[in-house]
Amino acid sequence: MYFIQPTRKIPNLEFVLDTLPSLQMINIEDIHLYDPTIIAIADVNDFLHYKWSIPTIVIGHEDQGSELSQAWELGALAGWIWTKLPSLLEESLLKIDAQYKRNQDSRDLPSAAELQKKLLPNPIELQNYEVETLFQPSAYLSGDWYDYWKISDKEIIFYLADVSGHGVTSSLLTSWMAAFHGRSKTPRELLKKLNGMLVQENIEKHITMIAGVLNLETHQLKWSSAGHYPPAIIFEPNQPPRILNTSSFPLGLTEDLDIEEQECTLNRHARFIICSDGALEPFDGGLNEQFSQLVYHLQNHSFEAPEHVADDIAILSLQRLN
């Protein structure tokens, strides 16, 4: 932390400085040369007069209650009295510093959310197919993720993942998954790589995921699931929905993960849809009732995510056009 040399005379200043833990003394005219994110301690008069932007704990005399209140309104982190500093001074400074950093992290969340969205794949044009997506975090950052990329002129690989929990840690894992873009060519290979990394790094999170490869010419779809719910769904005109149930463990639980690969063919105008479990949230009832309502609305193109959700939502749809 910094201590800004007061411009007025402060009685017993040397005693106060001895009481404070080791601080870097700086002059007001040199403030612009120092790190603007490090907390400073300063006289309240100087803070009000110079109005610098450095996070500051202000100190005033006992008759300066009005000035201390004004400094608080202008953003001062705390206000103390020169002759009555906190008894546990170092502990107080640590608490103020920790709270300031937490507040800064919160202010950074909107920027972090924009950055996360920029890591999502760009829209892609495919022969005979249309890709549609939905990405709606419950707060600023999402623990749901999807990605896709071409592995040849006639094949595309894709996945949708749901990281356990919410918040910054889960969202960091989605950014970590984005680093795998383009590094696998089969669903099994992708799931094995991700699972191996999670187990090796002993990350206390698990990930459910559906990954697949679609041949744009033969319309053959190969896909695998790692403990993901809800299951993938295929919608075809004038046909009941096909629910593609599987049984498997999520990623990150065991090194010996058995990955089964399923295979099907997408007929004309068929839609292959995968969702995160947040897509169930808008609907009432138990899990089965929620899933039935989700299937109904997806089939009828009437699914609408609420403006405010308690769980992240991600949906990836691949539709054959002819």
- What are the residue ranges of helices labelled H in 245-319? 287-299
Structure-token pair, residue 302: 């009437």
177 plus 287 within the same structural domain? yes
Q: Which residue has the higher pLDDT, 240 or 198?
A: 240
Q: Which of 6-10, 183-187, 300-304 has the lowest mean pLDDT?
A: 183-187
- Counts for the chain of helices (H) and strands (E), in that order: 7, 15
pLDDT range class, residue 6, cuts 50, 70, 90 = very high
Q: Are 199 and 211 in contact (CB under 8 A)?
A: no
Write down the mean pLDDT value for the chain: 89
CA 279, 285, 291, 296 dihedral sign is negative
40 plus 143 within the same structural domain? no
- How much is the pLDDT for 106? 65
Q: Which residue has the higher pLDDT, 278 or 310?
A: 278
- How much is the pLDDT for 167? 66
Q: Are 38 and 59 in contact (CB under 8 A)?
A: no
pLDDT range class, residue 121, cuts 50, 70, 90 = very high
285 plus 267 within the same structural domain? yes
> Which helix (DSSP H) or strand (DSSP E) does residue 107 occupy?
helix 89-118
**Helix 89-118 / helix 167-178 crossing angle, nearest 10 deg:** 40
Domain that holds residue 6: 2-110
- How much is the pLDDT for 211? 95
Domain count along the chain = 2
Q: Which of 99-108, 161-170, 269-278 has the lowest mean pLDDT?
A: 99-108
Q: What CATH number is attached to the domain comprising 91?
A: 3.40.50
Give the pTM: 0.70
- How much is the pLDDT for 205? 81
Structure-token pair, residue 320: 């054959």
Structure-token pair, residue 226: 């790692």
Q: Are 271 and 234 in contact (CB under 8 A)?
A: yes
88 plus 129 within the same structural domain? no
244 plus 297 within the same structural domain? yes
Main-chain dihedrals φ then ψ at residue 221, nearest 5 degrees: -120, 120
Domain edge (last residue) among 110, 136, 159: 110
Q: What CATH number is attached to the domain comprising 133?
A: 3.60.40.10
74 plus 143 within the same structural domain? no
For 304, the 3-state DSSP assignment is coil
> Is the pLDDT confidence value at 102 over 80?
no
282 plus 193 within the same structural domain? yes
Amino acid at 217: E
- How much is the pLDDT for 55? 92
Amino acid at 17: L
Domain edge (last residue) among 85, 110, 135: 110
16 plus 165 within the same structural domain? no
> Is the pLDDT confidence value at 275 over 90?
yes
103 plus 238 within the same structural domain? no
69 plus 166 within the same structural domain? no
Cα angle value 20/22/28 (rounded, 5°): 85
Task: Tell me the pLDDT tens digit for each residue of 17-35.
Answer: 888 767 889 999 999 888 8
- How much is the pLDDT for 222? 95
Domain edge (last residue) among 91, 110, 129: 110
Give 3-state DSSP helix, strand, coil % of the chain, rounded to 5.
Answer: 30, 25, 40
Task: Tell me the pLDDT tens digit for each residue of 200-235.
Answer: 887 778 899 999 999 999 999 999 999 999 999 999
198 plus 229 within the same structural domain? yes
pLDDT range class, residue 243, cuts 50, 70, 90 = very high
Percent of the chain with pLDDT over 90: 55
44 plus 125 within the same structural domain? no
Q: Which residue has the higher pLDDT, 137 or 109?
A: 137
Q: Which of 53-62, 69-78, 92-101, 131-140 has the lowest mean pLDDT?
A: 92-101
Cα distance between residue 59 and residue 230, in whole Å: 58
